Homo-oligomer: A and B are copies of this chain.
Amino acid sequence: MPDLNEEYLCLHEDVVNSVKAQMPPDEILYDLAELYKVFGDTTRIRILYALFESELCVNDMALLLGLSQTAVSHQLRVLKNNKLVKFRKEGKIIFYSLSDDHVKSIISIGMEHVEE
């Protein structure tokens, strides 16, 4: 018969307490997960990687990546909200670029793991 209370015994109390004391606040870990969630989509990764090389306008991104303008625009909003891209206007054209080097660092380190 299964234990419906789900009350587990602590097997190694000292270790559990030690780890618990060193865990960052949940809020930080939540933000961290949110950040990686942004990188966890092929479309957004491709957009970010394209911007790795050069600033680009929305239309060109759509063309370059074989996506609809709408899809690109929606994803750019996500990237903007998470401060991963910035933009400048030139008439009716809007050029997007990576907002800082964190993006490059994060992608580079991920690449190391993937390319093994």
List residues of A whose CB falls within 8 A of some B CB. Answer: 6, 8-12, 15-16, 18-20, 22-24, 26, 28-42, 44-46, 49-50, 53-54, 56-57, 59-60, 62-64, 68-69, 93, 102, 105-107, 109-115
Contacts and interface: CB of A to CB of B under 8 A. Distances in A.
State the copy count for this chain.
2
Q: Which 3 pairs across A and B sit closest by C-beta, in order of nearness?
A: A37-B40, A36-B39, A36-B40
B64 A11 contact: no
Contacts of A22: 53
Given A19-B64, A37-B40, A39-B36, A28 B59 contact: no
A60 B12 contact: yes
Nearest to A39: B36
